[in-house]
Structure 1
Amino acid sequence: MASLLRLSLLGCALLLSPASASDSQDQSGQIRGRISIPSKFQQGLPPLGGLHEAKVILDGGLLSTLPTADGYFYFSGVSAGPHLLQVVHPRLNFDAVRLEAEDTGANGMKITAYMADPEHGRGAKLKYPLGLAPSGAFSYLEKREEFNILSVFKSPMALISLFSCGAMFLLPKLQPMIEEEKAKQQAEVEGNKGQAESLTNGKK
Protein backbone atom coordinates (compact mmCIF):
# COMPACT_ATOMS: atom_id res chain seq x y z
CA MET A 1 0.00 0.00 0.00
CA ALA A 2 2.84 2.37 0.87
CA SER A 3 4.63 1.57 -2.40
CA LEU A 4 1.50 2.33 -4.43
CA LEU A 5 1.14 5.66 -2.62
CA ARG A 6 4.77 6.54 -3.39
CA LEU A 7 4.35 5.66 -7.06
CA SER A 8 1.21 7.79 -7.36
CA LEU A 9 2.92 10.77 -5.71
CA LEU A 10 5.93 10.39 -7.99
CA GLY A 11 3.69 10.31 -11.06
CA CYS A 12 1.89 13.46 -9.97
CA ALA A 13 5.21 15.22 -9.43
CA LEU A 14 6.39 14.26 -12.90
CA LEU A 15 3.16 15.53 -14.45
CA LEU A 16 3.23 18.81 -12.59
CA SER A 17 6.93 19.62 -13.04
CA PRO A 18 6.82 20.47 -16.82
CA ALA A 19 3.78 22.70 -16.31
CA SER A 20 5.40 24.62 -13.48
CA ALA A 21 8.60 25.01 -15.49
CA SER A 22 6.72 26.36 -18.50
CA ASP A 23 4.72 28.75 -16.30
CA SER A 24 7.89 30.22 -14.83
CA GLN A 25 9.39 30.57 -18.29
CA ASP A 26 6.34 32.47 -19.56
CA GLN A 27 6.38 34.79 -16.57
CA SER A 28 10.07 35.56 -17.01
CA GLY A 29 9.60 36.91 -20.58
CA GLN A 30 6.64 39.19 -20.07
CA ILE A 31 6.33 42.93 -20.68
CA ARG A 32 3.30 44.50 -18.99
CA GLY A 33 1.74 47.92 -18.91
CA ARG A 34 -1.39 50.01 -19.24
CA ILE A 35 -2.55 52.75 -21.62
CA SER A 36 -4.70 55.59 -20.34
CA ILE A 37 -6.16 58.52 -22.27
CA PRO A 38 -6.80 61.70 -20.22
CA SER A 39 -10.07 63.54 -20.64
CA LYS A 40 -8.44 66.48 -22.46
CA PHE A 41 -7.53 64.13 -25.33
CA GLN A 42 -10.84 62.27 -25.32
CA GLN A 43 -12.85 65.41 -26.14
CA GLY A 44 -11.80 65.46 -29.78
CA LEU A 45 -12.13 61.70 -30.34
CA PRO A 46 -15.12 59.82 -31.78
CA PRO A 47 -17.06 57.47 -29.43
CA LEU A 48 -14.88 54.45 -30.26
CA GLY A 49 -11.72 56.37 -31.12
CA GLY A 50 -9.84 55.91 -27.85
CA LEU A 51 -8.37 52.61 -26.69
CA HIS A 52 -10.25 50.73 -29.42
CA GLU A 53 -7.95 52.25 -32.08
CA ALA A 54 -4.70 51.80 -30.14
CA LYS A 55 -2.16 49.10 -30.96
CA VAL A 56 1.04 48.27 -29.08
CA ILE A 57 4.00 47.07 -31.14
CA LEU A 58 7.40 45.81 -30.05
CA ASP A 59 10.62 46.16 -32.04
CA GLY A 60 9.03 47.78 -35.07
CA GLY A 61 6.18 45.28 -35.37
CA LEU A 62 7.92 41.95 -34.68
CA LEU A 63 5.40 41.53 -31.87
CA SER A 64 2.09 43.35 -31.52
CA THR A 65 -0.92 43.26 -29.24
CA LEU A 66 -4.14 45.13 -28.56
CA PRO A 67 -4.97 46.64 -25.16
CA THR A 68 -7.98 45.44 -23.20
CA ALA A 69 -11.02 47.63 -22.56
CA ASP A 70 -9.25 48.88 -19.42
CA GLY A 71 -6.05 49.64 -21.34
CA TYR A 72 -3.91 46.75 -20.06
CA PHE A 73 -1.50 44.96 -22.40
CA TYR A 74 1.31 42.43 -22.15
CA PHE A 75 3.82 40.58 -24.30
CA SER A 76 5.04 37.11 -23.49
CA GLY A 77 8.11 35.22 -24.64
CA VAL A 78 10.29 38.33 -24.81
CA SER A 79 14.02 37.64 -25.09
CA ALA A 80 16.75 39.35 -23.09
CA GLY A 81 18.22 42.55 -24.49
CA PRO A 82 17.00 46.00 -25.53
CA HIS A 83 13.54 46.44 -27.06
CA LEU A 84 11.59 49.37 -28.49
CA LEU A 85 7.92 49.65 -27.54
CA GLN A 86 5.54 51.96 -29.40
CA VAL A 87 1.83 52.73 -29.15
CA VAL A 88 0.27 53.35 -32.56
CA HIS A 89 -2.88 55.47 -32.74
CA PRO A 90 -4.40 57.31 -35.74
CA ARG A 91 -5.13 60.50 -33.77
CA LEU A 92 -2.91 60.47 -30.67
CA ASN A 93 0.87 60.59 -30.37
CA PHE A 94 2.64 58.40 -27.81
CA ASP A 95 6.34 58.66 -26.99
CA ALA A 96 8.39 55.55 -27.72
CA VAL A 97 9.78 53.54 -24.81
CA ARG A 98 13.10 51.71 -24.60
CA LEU A 99 12.97 48.51 -22.58
CA GLU A 100 16.00 46.59 -21.35
CA ALA A 101 15.28 42.98 -20.41
CA GLU A 102 17.91 41.29 -18.25
CA ASP A 103 17.85 37.58 -17.51
CA THR A 104 18.54 37.19 -13.79
CA GLY A 105 18.40 33.38 -13.76
CA ALA A 106 16.11 31.91 -11.13
CA ASN A 107 14.47 35.28 -10.44
CA GLY A 108 13.23 35.54 -14.05
CA MET A 109 13.52 38.56 -16.32
CA LYS A 110 14.17 42.04 -14.98
CA ILE A 111 12.63 44.82 -17.08
CA THR A 112 13.91 48.41 -16.94
CA ALA A 113 12.09 51.14 -18.90
CA TYR A 114 13.37 54.44 -20.27
CA MET A 115 12.10 57.11 -22.61
CA ALA A 116 13.50 56.37 -26.06
CA ASP A 117 16.11 58.93 -27.10
CA PRO A 118 17.16 58.77 -30.80
CA GLU A 119 20.59 60.25 -30.03
CA HIS A 120 21.60 58.61 -26.76
CA GLY A 121 19.29 55.57 -26.66
CA ARG A 122 18.19 56.16 -23.07
CA GLY A 123 16.10 59.03 -21.85
CA ALA A 124 14.38 59.52 -18.52
CA LYS A 125 13.76 56.39 -16.49
CA LEU A 126 10.14 55.21 -16.29
CA LYS A 127 8.22 53.19 -13.76
CA TYR A 128 7.51 49.54 -14.46
CA PRO A 129 4.92 48.11 -15.15
CA LEU A 130 4.47 50.79 -17.76
CA GLY A 131 1.84 53.51 -17.50
CA LEU A 132 1.55 55.17 -20.91
CA ALA A 133 -0.44 58.27 -21.90
CA PRO A 134 -0.47 60.36 -25.09
CA SER A 135 1.87 63.33 -25.32
CA GLY A 136 -0.11 65.12 -28.01
CA ALA A 137 -2.63 64.83 -30.82
CA PHE A 138 -2.06 64.78 -34.57
CA SER A 139 -3.44 67.72 -36.57
CA TYR A 140 -4.27 66.73 -40.15
CA LEU A 141 -6.02 69.99 -41.11
CA GLU A 142 -4.24 73.33 -41.20
CA LYS A 143 -5.96 76.26 -39.54
CA ARG A 144 -7.55 78.57 -42.05
CA GLU A 145 -5.93 81.98 -42.19
CA GLU A 146 -8.19 84.93 -41.42
CA PHE A 147 -8.88 87.31 -44.27
CA ASN A 148 -6.92 90.53 -44.12
CA ILE A 149 -7.59 93.32 -46.61
CA LEU A 150 -3.95 94.43 -46.39
CA SER A 151 -2.79 91.07 -47.73
CA VAL A 152 -4.29 92.04 -51.11
CA PHE A 153 -1.66 94.74 -51.54
CA LYS A 154 1.13 92.22 -50.94
CA SER A 155 0.27 90.27 -54.09
CA PRO A 156 1.99 91.45 -57.32
CA MET A 157 -0.96 90.32 -59.44
CA ALA A 158 -3.35 92.32 -57.29
CA LEU A 159 -1.17 95.42 -57.63
CA ILE A 160 -1.03 95.05 -61.42
CA SER A 161 -4.81 94.66 -61.57
CA LEU A 162 -5.35 97.75 -59.43
CA PHE A 163 -2.94 99.75 -61.58
CA SER A 164 -4.70 98.66 -64.77
CA CYS A 165 -8.13 99.56 -63.39
CA GLY A 166 -6.84 102.94 -62.24
CA ALA A 167 -5.32 103.62 -65.65
CA MET A 168 -8.62 102.78 -67.37
CA PHE A 169 -10.48 105.33 -65.28
CA LEU A 170 -7.83 108.07 -65.25
CA LEU A 171 -6.76 108.08 -68.91
CA PRO A 172 -10.11 109.37 -70.28
CA LYS A 173 -10.00 112.22 -67.75
CA LEU A 174 -6.39 113.03 -68.53
CA GLN A 175 -6.98 113.11 -72.32
CA PRO A 176 -8.72 116.56 -72.42
CA MET A 177 -6.03 118.02 -70.21
CA ILE A 178 -3.35 116.69 -72.53
CA GLU A 179 -5.14 118.10 -75.58
CA GLU A 180 -5.52 121.49 -73.89
CA GLU A 181 -1.83 121.54 -73.00
CA LYS A 182 -0.93 120.71 -76.61
CA ALA A 183 -3.16 123.52 -77.85
CA LYS A 184 -1.48 126.02 -75.54
CA GLN A 185 1.95 124.90 -76.69
CA GLN A 186 0.85 125.18 -80.32
CA ALA A 187 -0.52 128.67 -79.71
CA GLU A 188 2.72 129.78 -78.07
CA VAL A 189 4.73 128.42 -80.99
CA GLU A 190 2.54 130.22 -83.51
CA GLY A 191 2.72 133.42 -81.45
CA ASN A 192 6.49 133.25 -81.35
CA LYS A 193 6.56 132.73 -85.12
CA GLY A 194 4.27 135.74 -85.68
CA GLN A 195 6.46 137.96 -83.53
CA ALA A 196 9.56 136.81 -85.36
CA GLU A 197 7.99 137.56 -88.73
CA SER A 198 6.83 141.04 -87.65
CA LEU A 199 10.31 141.88 -86.45
CA THR A 200 11.86 140.81 -89.71
CA ASN A 201 9.32 142.78 -91.75
CA GLY A 202 9.93 145.91 -89.60
CA LYS A 203 13.65 145.74 -90.25
CA LYS A 204 13.07 145.65 -93.96
Structure 2
Amino acid sequence: MMRALSLLSLLLSWSSIIFALELHGYVQWNDLCPSYEALASAKVLLDAGKMSGRVTRNGNFSIPDVPPGTYILSVLSHDYSFDHVRIDVSRSEPQPEVRPHIFGTPLLTTTSFSLPYPILLIPRHKNRYFSPRESFNLLGMFQSPMMMIMVLTGVMMLAMPYIMKNMDPETLDGLKGQVKAASKQNSIQSGDPGGLSALLAAEETKASTPVVKSNTGSSTLQQRKGGKGNKRR
Protein backbone atom coordinates (compact mmCIF):
# COMPACT_ATOMS: atom_id res chain seq x y z
CA MET A 1 0.00 0.00 0.00
CA MET A 2 2.78 2.40 0.89
CA ARG A 3 4.59 1.58 -2.33
CA ALA A 4 1.44 2.28 -4.33
CA LEU A 5 1.00 5.68 -2.68
CA SER A 6 4.61 6.64 -3.25
CA LEU A 7 4.37 5.54 -6.87
CA LEU A 8 1.19 7.58 -7.34
CA SER A 9 2.78 10.72 -5.86
CA LEU A 10 5.81 10.21 -8.10
CA LEU A 11 3.56 9.89 -11.16
CA LEU A 12 1.69 13.06 -10.20
CA SER A 13 4.93 15.00 -9.80
CA TRP A 14 6.15 13.71 -13.17
CA SER A 15 2.85 14.65 -14.80
CA SER A 16 3.09 18.16 -13.40
CA ILE A 17 6.62 18.45 -14.76
CA ILE A 18 5.54 17.13 -18.15
CA PHE A 19 2.63 19.56 -18.42
CA ALA A 20 4.55 22.54 -17.07
CA LEU A 21 4.56 25.56 -19.34
CA GLU A 22 6.92 28.46 -19.80
CA LEU A 23 5.18 31.81 -19.56
CA HIS A 24 6.30 34.57 -21.91
CA GLY A 25 5.52 38.24 -21.95
CA TYR A 26 6.95 41.71 -22.40
CA VAL A 27 6.77 45.22 -20.99
CA GLN A 28 5.51 47.87 -23.39
CA TRP A 29 7.42 51.14 -23.03
CA ASN A 30 5.41 54.36 -22.94
CA ASP A 31 5.86 58.03 -22.06
CA LEU A 32 5.77 57.21 -18.36
CA CYS A 33 8.50 54.56 -18.62
CA PRO A 34 10.29 54.96 -21.96
CA SER A 35 13.16 52.46 -21.59
CA TYR A 36 14.81 49.76 -19.53
CA GLU A 37 17.08 52.35 -17.92
CA ALA A 38 14.02 54.13 -16.54
CA LEU A 39 12.48 50.86 -15.31
CA ALA A 40 15.78 49.67 -13.77
CA SER A 41 15.77 46.23 -12.17
CA ALA A 42 12.32 44.61 -12.12
CA LYS A 43 10.96 41.10 -11.53
CA VAL A 44 7.74 39.41 -12.64
CA LEU A 45 6.25 37.31 -9.84
CA LEU A 46 3.68 34.53 -9.70
CA ASP A 47 1.74 34.36 -6.43
CA ALA A 48 3.97 36.95 -4.71
CA GLY A 49 7.25 35.16 -5.45
CA LYS A 50 6.35 31.48 -5.72
CA MET A 51 7.92 31.63 -9.19
CA SER A 52 9.57 34.58 -10.86
CA GLY A 53 11.44 35.87 -13.89
CA ARG A 54 13.47 39.00 -14.62
CA VAL A 55 12.72 41.66 -17.20
CA THR A 56 15.48 41.79 -19.81
CA ARG A 57 16.89 44.89 -21.48
CA ASN A 58 14.51 44.63 -24.44
CA GLY A 59 11.51 44.34 -22.10
CA ASN A 60 10.85 40.61 -22.45
CA PHE A 61 10.45 38.19 -19.55
CA SER A 62 9.83 34.48 -19.09
CA ILE A 63 8.91 32.20 -16.17
CA PRO A 64 9.87 28.55 -16.77
CA ASP A 65 8.28 25.35 -15.46
CA VAL A 66 4.88 26.68 -14.46
CA PRO A 67 2.64 23.72 -13.49
CA PRO A 68 -1.12 23.70 -14.12
CA GLY A 69 -3.07 25.95 -11.80
CA THR A 70 -4.31 29.48 -11.25
CA TYR A 71 -1.84 32.26 -10.45
CA ILE A 72 -1.72 36.01 -9.92
CA LEU A 73 1.03 37.72 -11.88
CA SER A 74 2.49 40.98 -10.57
CA VAL A 75 5.55 43.12 -11.21
CA LEU A 76 8.03 44.01 -8.50
CA SER A 77 9.40 47.43 -9.44
CA HIS A 78 10.81 50.22 -7.30
CA ASP A 79 9.57 53.17 -9.35
CA TYR A 80 6.54 51.95 -11.31
CA SER A 81 3.21 50.22 -10.70
CA PHE A 82 1.64 47.64 -13.03
CA ASP A 83 -1.75 45.95 -13.24
CA HIS A 84 -2.24 42.48 -11.73
CA VAL A 85 -3.04 39.66 -14.14
CA ARG A 86 -4.68 36.28 -13.58
CA ILE A 87 -3.01 33.31 -15.29
CA ASP A 88 -4.84 29.97 -15.72
CA VAL A 89 -2.58 27.13 -16.86
CA SER A 90 -4.43 24.00 -18.02
CA ARG A 91 -3.19 20.61 -19.22
CA SER A 92 -5.68 20.60 -22.07
CA GLU A 93 -4.67 23.99 -23.47
CA PRO A 94 -1.34 24.72 -25.14
CA GLN A 95 -1.45 28.34 -24.01
CA PRO A 96 -2.51 29.82 -20.66
CA GLU A 97 -5.58 31.98 -20.29
CA VAL A 98 -4.82 35.57 -19.31
CA ARG A 99 -7.46 37.71 -17.60
CA PRO A 100 -7.41 41.03 -15.75
CA HIS A 101 -7.45 40.85 -11.97
CA ILE A 102 -8.25 43.45 -9.30
CA PHE A 103 -6.01 43.08 -6.29
CA GLY A 104 -7.96 41.85 -3.25
CA THR A 105 -10.77 40.07 -5.10
CA PRO A 106 -11.08 36.27 -4.62
CA LEU A 107 -9.95 33.89 -7.34
CA LEU A 108 -13.41 32.33 -7.55
CA THR A 109 -14.74 35.43 -9.29
CA THR A 110 -13.87 35.14 -12.97
CA THR A 111 -14.51 37.38 -15.94
CA SER A 112 -15.13 36.47 -19.56
CA PHE A 113 -12.83 39.25 -20.76
CA SER A 114 -9.48 37.82 -21.91
CA LEU A 115 -6.12 39.48 -22.52
CA PRO A 116 -3.72 38.59 -25.33
CA TYR A 117 -0.85 36.15 -24.94
CA PRO A 118 2.16 36.63 -24.69
CA ILE A 119 1.40 38.65 -21.57
CA LEU A 120 1.45 42.40 -22.11
CA LEU A 121 2.40 44.62 -19.16
CA ILE A 122 2.13 48.42 -19.29
CA PRO A 123 3.44 50.82 -16.60
CA ARG A 124 0.44 52.63 -15.10
CA HIS A 125 1.76 54.89 -12.33
CA LYS A 126 5.05 56.15 -11.04
CA ASN A 127 5.63 55.54 -7.35
CA ARG A 128 6.22 58.61 -5.19
CA TYR A 129 7.76 58.09 -1.79
CA PHE A 130 8.21 61.75 -0.79
CA SER A 131 5.62 64.53 -0.87
CA PRO A 132 6.82 68.08 -1.59
CA ARG A 133 6.90 70.50 1.31
CA GLU A 134 3.96 72.87 1.36
CA SER A 135 4.77 76.55 0.94
CA PHE A 136 3.60 79.24 3.31
CA ASN A 137 -0.04 80.11 2.70
CA LEU A 138 -1.34 83.20 4.47
CA LEU A 139 -4.95 82.54 3.49
CA GLY A 140 -4.72 78.96 4.71
CA MET A 141 -3.35 80.17 8.04
CA PHE A 142 -6.38 82.42 8.59
CA GLN A 143 -8.69 79.56 7.62
CA SER A 144 -7.50 77.62 10.68
CA PRO A 145 -10.19 77.42 13.43
CA MET A 146 -7.73 78.39 16.17
CA MET A 147 -6.57 81.46 14.24
CA MET A 148 -10.17 82.52 13.62
CA ILE A 149 -10.95 82.23 17.34
CA MET A 150 -7.88 84.31 18.22
CA VAL A 151 -8.82 87.02 15.70
CA LEU A 152 -12.41 87.19 16.92
CA THR A 153 -11.23 87.39 20.54
CA GLY A 154 -8.90 90.28 19.70
CA VAL A 155 -11.66 92.14 17.85
CA MET A 156 -14.02 91.72 20.79
CA MET A 157 -11.40 93.03 23.22
CA LEU A 158 -10.81 96.12 21.08
CA ALA A 159 -14.50 96.77 20.52
CA MET A 160 -15.60 96.19 24.11
CA PRO A 161 -14.89 99.77 25.39
CA TYR A 162 -16.93 101.32 22.56
CA ILE A 163 -19.76 98.86 23.19
CA MET A 164 -19.77 99.69 26.90
CA LYS A 165 -19.98 103.43 26.19
CA ASN A 166 -22.99 103.06 23.92
CA MET A 167 -24.93 100.73 26.24
CA ASP A 168 -27.92 101.87 28.31
CA PRO A 169 -27.32 102.35 32.05
CA GLU A 170 -29.86 99.66 32.90
CA THR A 171 -28.28 97.17 30.53
CA LEU A 172 -24.83 98.05 31.87
CA ASP A 173 -25.98 97.51 35.46
CA GLY A 174 -27.48 94.15 34.51
CA LEU A 175 -24.25 93.11 32.81
CA LYS A 176 -22.24 94.10 35.88
CA GLY A 177 -24.57 92.02 38.02
CA GLN A 178 -24.10 89.01 35.77
CA VAL A 179 -20.33 89.45 35.91
CA LYS A 180 -20.40 89.64 39.71
CA ALA A 181 -22.59 86.54 39.94
CA ALA A 182 -20.32 84.63 37.58
CA SER A 183 -17.19 85.68 39.46
CA LYS A 184 -18.77 84.70 42.77
CA GLN A 185 -19.71 81.29 41.41
CA ASN A 186 -16.20 80.76 40.07
CA SER A 187 -14.69 81.74 43.41
CA ILE A 188 -16.97 79.29 45.23
CA GLN A 189 -15.99 76.50 42.84
CA SER A 190 -12.31 77.32 43.26
CA GLY A 191 -12.56 77.26 47.08
CA ASP A 192 -12.17 81.03 47.70
CA PRO A 193 -15.70 82.36 48.25
CA GLY A 194 -14.69 85.69 49.79
CA GLY A 195 -11.46 86.54 48.02
CA LEU A 196 -12.75 87.67 44.68
CA SER A 197 -15.81 89.48 46.02
CA ALA A 198 -13.61 91.37 48.51
CA LEU A 199 -11.28 92.34 45.70
CA LEU A 200 -14.19 93.66 43.63
CA ALA A 201 -15.54 95.59 46.60
CA ALA A 202 -12.13 97.16 47.20
CA GLU A 203 -11.88 98.18 43.56
CA GLU A 204 -15.34 99.77 43.69
CA THR A 205 -14.45 101.67 46.90
CA LYS A 206 -11.28 103.03 45.30
CA ALA A 207 -13.20 104.12 42.24
CA SER A 208 -15.94 105.88 44.26
CA THR A 209 -13.62 107.67 46.75
CA PRO A 210 -12.67 111.20 45.50
CA VAL A 211 -9.03 112.12 45.43
CA VAL A 212 -8.22 115.05 47.83
CA LYS A 213 -5.07 116.98 47.14
CA SER A 214 -3.07 117.93 50.20
CA ASN A 215 -1.67 121.46 50.65
CA THR A 216 0.67 120.48 53.45
CA GLY A 217 3.72 120.80 51.30
CA SER A 218 3.04 124.41 50.24
CA SER A 219 2.17 125.62 53.77
CA THR A 220 5.30 124.06 55.19
CA LEU A 221 7.38 125.78 52.53
CA GLN A 222 5.83 129.18 53.40
CA GLN A 223 6.56 128.68 57.10
CA ARG A 224 10.15 127.89 56.32
CA LYS A 225 10.47 131.04 54.23
CA GLY A 226 8.93 133.14 56.98
CA GLY A 227 11.27 131.71 59.56
CA LYS A 228 14.29 132.55 57.49
CA GLY A 229 13.09 136.18 57.14
CA ASN A 230 12.68 136.60 60.87
CA LYS A 231 16.16 135.38 61.54
CA ARG A 232 17.66 137.91 59.15
CA ARG A 233 15.89 140.73 60.90
TM-score by length of 1: 0.58
Which residue number in structure 2 is paired with residue 190 of structure 1?
none
Q: Pick closer, same or farther for the CA change 1:135–1:180 going to 2, 3 Å.
A: closer
Taking the aligned partners of 1:128 and 1:140, their CA distance within structure 2 comes to: 33
Which residue number in structure 1 is paired with residue 95 of structure 2?
110
Structure 2: segments with no counterpart, 5+ residues: 1-16, 174-233
Which residue number in structure 1 is paired with residue 184 of structure 2?
none
Q: Pick closer, same or farther for the CA change 1:114–1:146 going to 2, 3 Å.
A: farther
Render the CA deviation track for 1:120-157: whole Å, top value 9, x for unaligned. Answer: 2346211111121123334445575994737725x432
Shift of 1:31: 0.3
Q: Pick closer, same or farther for the CA change 1:27–1:171 going to 2, 3 Å.
A: same
Shift of 1:28: 5.4
What code does the residue aligned with 1:29 have? L
Identical aligned residues as a percent: 21
CA contact (8 A) 1:98 1:116 kept: yes
Q: What are the residue-to-residue correspondences of 1:1-204 with 2, within 5 Å?
A: 29-39=21-31, 41-42=32-33, 48-50=37-39, 52-104=40-92, 109-117=94-102, 118=105, 120-122=109-111, 124-141=113-130, 147=137, 149=139, 152-153=142-143, 155-173=144-162, 177=165
TM-score by length of 2: 0.51
Taking the aligned partners of 1:156 and 1:168, their CA distance within structure 2 comes to: 18
Shift of 1:84: 1.5
What code does the residue aligned with 1:42 have? C
CA contact (8 A) 1:103 1:110 kept: no
Taking the aligned partners of 1:147 and 1:48, their CA distance within structure 2 comes to: 39
Structure 1: segments with no counterpart, 5+ residues: 1-24, 186-204
Q: Pick closer, same or farther for the CA change 1:129–1:42 going to 2, 3 Å.
A: closer
Taking the aligned partners of 2:127 and 2:71, their CA distance within structure 1 comes to: 25
Render the CA deviation track for 1:70-112: whole Å, top value 9, x for unaligned. Answer: 11110111101222211122332211111111224xxx84322
Q: Pick closer, same or farther for the CA change 1:121–1:148 going to 2, 3 Å.
A: farther
Q: Pick closer, same or farther for the CA change 1:123–1:145 going to 2, 3 Å.
A: farther
Taking the aligned partners of 1:75 and 1:66, their CA distance within structure 2 comes to: 8
SS at match of 2:151: helix
SS at match of 1:42: coil
CA contact (8 A) 1:97 1:113 kept: yes
